[in-house]
Amino acid sequence: MSILTILNTGTAQLAGWFGGYEVVLIVVVVLLLFGGKKIPELMRGIGKGVKEFKGGISEGDEKNDNEPKETDKK
């Protein structure tokens, strides 16, 4: 089963968490809190943070691949 499910009523929900009204409410609250001009800056910052996080994860995986394993130390 996929995360995005279509109900018999034709509305989309994300795994039962958010329906159409909830998404609209969240968008309205974000617009009221940050305003229309700040949202692109906010999204850009979130994107940079996610990119740095993914880079850190892949960098950590590369370090783990280069370290000798327990059986190799003997």
CA distances (Å), 44 to each of 15, 38, 40, 68, in order?
27, 10, 6, 39
Instruction: Tell me the C-alpha distance between 74 and 70, whole Å.
Output: 8
Q: What is the pLDDT of residue 44?
A: 93
Q: What is the pLDDT of residue 60?
A: 76
Q: Cα dihedral angle (25, 17, 2, 52), rounded to 10 degrees?
A: 70
Domain boundaries, the chain: 4-66
pLDDT averaged per 10 residues in sequence order, the chain, 74 residues: 50 64 88 86 92 87 68 57
Q: What is the pLDDT of residue 62?
A: 73
